[in-house]
A and B are shown apart, each in its own frame.
Chain A
Amino acid sequence: MTKITINGREVDADPAQPLIRACHDHGADVPMYCYHPGLSPVGSCRICQVEVQQGDMPPRVVVACRTPVVEGMVVDTEAERAHETRRECLEFLLKNHPLDCPICDKAGECDLQDYAFAEGQGKGRSAEPRRKLEKRKSLGDVIVLDQERCILCSRCTRFMEEVPRTPQLTVSDLGSRSVIETFMDRPLTGNYQGNLADICPVGALTLKEFRFQARVWNLRKTPSTCAECSRGCAITVETLRGGEVKRFRPRPDLEVNQYWMCDTGRFALDRANLPARLPAATLRGQSGLEEADVEDAVDVLADMVGAHRASAVVLVSPFATQEEAAAVQRLAAELGAAPAFVSPPPNDLKDDVLHTGDPCPNRRGLTGLGFEALTAEDALARLADAELAVLAGERVVELVGAEGLAAVRASLRLVVLDAVPVDVPALDVALGVPTHVEKSGTWVNVDGVRRRLSLAVPPPVGVAPLEQTVERMLARLQAAEVRG
């Protein structure tokens, strides 16, 4: 660590990082457009000017993102000269900017808007017509480009070169005629395009999916973990009032996903906004499955389980958290069953960036607890010989296969805890569980890193956390034993 002084306070700075990082780490607000901590620094936008004094030299105004930290350096981010240089730079950046914030999806989280608000002059001095460029240029299925809003920071071109290593974007032409383009207007490809909308400091690159969907200041943001593969990227779940999930966005996590996430994870909104939900409890009655009181359902369940515990199968979904799995494990022990989880085969999304190709976000955690990984076929084969089966967790029915389950003998006593409605002949009791955005808990990723999920959306009325429901069943079973 290197000792430097920032705004009068002596601090430790990481010598491997440019000065701007030390400023940000120690609470000094230095604006940045071209700099991004996950990309190589180019020092081109010139907004991050700060005053630096070293040794006997007079203070200089320098760009913080290209200045290395040097022992003893004295930094003043609020020096009038630094402010002045930043203000000038901002004025140039705004000269051709269309200022169409009212219809811009980025408004509210736009670095240009924020800094213009903090430091700008309120009134533009330019009498010249603004640059007229393409306002809605499709860059493929994911991204739409507004060339007028672009401030040519080149974050997007560097991202494409450095992260997925598919250099498909470029600055073409020169000077004030520069525009961001793809070669011959070809669409962008790859599974990481969505990140472009995050890193673009302005509203030049936006998501087609999110276009005019919400004003970002209305979104509630909850830190959580992506469910789409065993990388478990750190994300924020962004919801509108009423609970609709509008965006998944990556959160910086240097051990897991740095600053990025893949498009598969980003656009897995359908898994969070389910059209139909399994109610808290349903029981098989005269006219099929009927909604029931949870206590009654647990009673029925306990009686049934008590009578058939001899050859039970206990299976969880690969989305089960460590906390859920621990509860299920106790239930399995009570029933004398070996706990297992359904493990769908690897998909073809694996790449050398983030996606692992393994759709089980908590494989490491579950195997660590002693859960056996079963393919859908193996799981169904076990059900064929069992008298009783407890299938627990989000998407467990889908992953074992609803068709396969429909074909099991009707005499099997089948208990399902899932998030979506299910109806197969063997089913006796079905209990609703929360989805991954409706629960808190822990997953262990492919590298053994433990990360939290947190409740971003309340589960449907009456639906309790899975571990609670299982604990209730367990308590009811044990009580019956004592009485018995």
Chain B
Amino acid sequence: MSAHPTYMLDRCEVADSHTLKVYRENGGYEALEKVLKTPLSPEDVIAVLKDSGLRGRGGAGFPTGLKWSFMPDVAKDDRPRYLAVNADESEPGTCKDRVLLREDPHGLIEGILIACYAMRAEAAYVYVRGEYRLPYERVAAAIDEARAAGLVGENVMGTDFSCQIWMHKGAGAYICGEETGLMESLEGKRGHPRPKPPFPAGYGLWGNPTTVNNVETIQNVPFIVSRGAEWFRSMGTEKSTGNFLCGISGHVERPGVYELPFGLSARSILEEVAGGVWKGRELKAFFPGGSSTGVLPAGSIDVAMDHDSVKGAGSMFGTGAMIFMDETTCVTRIAEVTLRFYEHESCGQCSQCREGTQWLHQIFRRIERGQGTMDDVDMLSTLASGMAPGKTICALSDAAAIPTHSVVKHFRDELEEHVRLGRCPLAGTSQPVGAGA
């Protein structure tokens, strides 16, 4: 395994890492103390975040410091303001936040407190995927512990900074991970994303200024505050700084969640971190960052895993959840399964997404079963072009269109082979992988 400095998962290895006692023994809440006792001003904190180059880990890679600075000026806007922590983690292949929630809940709480301080938010809501029972319980217990220790609630650490943290359990809908769907769901409504504008910073939870951040994003905050922006920038690449949690799944020897700096090549991650393709087989394709990112062929394996490089290779960094598929994999079947997921999870508001996800799924299914036509292959592209980019309320429609385009682009031969043969050319050898196959 490549030798590189780590920070996020270090604590998680320690026994009872989820307790306040162990957290404190390992330097926990020192960053918060630095912020409150130095004291740093909220603007100072945002400046450090901007300087660090931290980008959101929820999928879009948006600069975190900049996002926080979108919150309206308190002098001009005295509405209550909130932080919503996105722990809905439902993107197929993505399983990193689960580790953090379960093993390092106090790290999240400390990050939340600093974020709320910086954005002058009076409360944070942690929206946890419903299936994450142990992670939920760990965070809930940690909040109780922190509250009892005067770290959450009124007058944190005896200062005049107050902050509440509330938890909410999702009910199993992927769309509630989309930031505005999440807010609707938190408000007790159906998780139907809201059209933007207005953006959450101006009109979020209950109509008040709100920032939504991913768990891993928030988890980075105390480290940056303690160790400085320069330290953070010393890891990763110029435009993708720090480490990221890489969830590796699929046909590899050692699947799991690894902490890696941005910029390693996909090949080195596959070979050195994940132990290579399993059973000594060849690689056929991989999703670089979850099922919503374009699938790449084995030939792209030398791409560097940072936002710009993956984009340059025609895909997206996404959530950094790499799904590897070996040579026996039927990519058509992968596409069918992926689109089945998006059809199932579309909220159904937008015509293109509601009907398009179903349509794409149906076509992939027909092709896979040998009932497709050559026209179907072209139709996949034109339909996907009708669904995205930017044609719908949220990016789920894009998330269905992008893998579709990539499969047609890189695996057209395989699709056409299905049509010609009237059956799956890989039938019998194909190993289902990923998204609930």
Residues of A within 8 A of B (CB): 42-47, 49, 61, 63, 66, 85, 88-89, 91-93, 95-96, 125-128, 151-152, 154, 171, 173-178
Q: State whether the Cβ of B327 lies closer than 8 Å to any Cβ in chain A.
A: no
Known contacts A45-B350, A89-B351, A92-B386; decide if A174 and B359 are in contact (CB<8 Å): no
Most chain B CB within a 10 A radius of its CB, from A45, A127, A178:
A127
Residues from chain A with Cβ under 8 Å of B390 in the complex: 61
Residue of B nearest to A152 (CB): B348
Report whether B392 and A175 are in contact in the complex, using a CB–CB cutoff of 8 Å: no
Q: State whether the Cβ of B343 lies closer than 8 Å to any Cβ in chain A.
A: yes
CB distance from A332 to the nearest CB of B (A): 59
Excluding A61-B390, A92-B356, 14 further A-B contacts by CB distance (< 8 Å) are A44-B192, A44-B393, A45-B351, A46-B392, A63-B195, A88-B352, A88-B386, A89-B386, A95-B355, A125-B379, A152-B349, A174-B346, A174-B348, A175-B353
Contact with A along B178-191 (1 / 0, CB 8 A): 00000000000010
CA distance A88 to B386 in the complex (A): 5
Report whether B352 and A92 are in contact in the complex, using a CB–CB cutoff of 8 Å: yes
CA distance A126 to B356 in the complex (A): 11
CB distance from B290 to the nearest CB of A (A): 19
Q: State whether the Cβ of B358 lies closer than 8 Å to any Cβ in chain A.
A: yes
Contact of B354 among A49, A128, A152 (CB under 8 A): A152
Report whether B346 and A93 are in contact in the complex, using a CB–CB cutoff of 8 Å: no
CA distance A178 to B147 in the complex (A): 42
Residues from chain A with Cβ under 8 Å of B352 in the complex: 46, 88-89, 92
Known contacts A66-B195, A125-B379, A171-B190; decide if A42 and B351 are in contact (CB<8 Å): no
Report whether B359 and A128 are in contact in the complex, using a CB–CB cutoff of 8 Å: yes
Residue of A nearest to B392 (CB): A46
CA distance A357 to B369 in the complex (A): 64
CA distance A316 to B345 in the complex (A): 64
CB distance from A474 to the nearest CB of B (A): 64
Report whether B379 and A96 are in contact in the complex, using a CB–CB cutoff of 8 Å: no
Report whether B344 and A92 are in contact in the complex, using a CB–CB cutoff of 8 Å: no
Report whether A46 and B355 are in contact in the complex, using a CB–CB cutoff of 8 Å: no
Residues from chain A with Cβ under 8 Å of B387 in the complex: 92
CA distance A176 to B345 in the complex (A): 9
Report whether A175 and B379 are in contact in the complex, using a CB–CB cutoff of 8 Å: no
**Segment 326-380 of B: residues with Cβ below 8 Å from A:** 343-359, 362-363, 366, 373, 376, 379
CB distance from B81 to the nearest CB of A (A): 23
Contact of A44 among B344, B350, B356 (CB under 8 A): B350
Contact of A96 among B195, B355, B357, B385 (CB under 8 A): B355
Residue of A nearest to B347 (CB): A174
CB distance from A410 to the nearest CB of B (A): 70
Report whether A42 and B349 are in contact in the complex, using a CB–CB cutoff of 8 Å: yes
Question: Which 9 pairs from chain A and chain B are nearest by CB?
Answer: A88-B386, A175-B346, A178-B348, A176-B358, A44-B349, A92-B355, A43-B195, A175-B348, A128-B362
CB distance from A16 to the nearest CB of B (A): 15
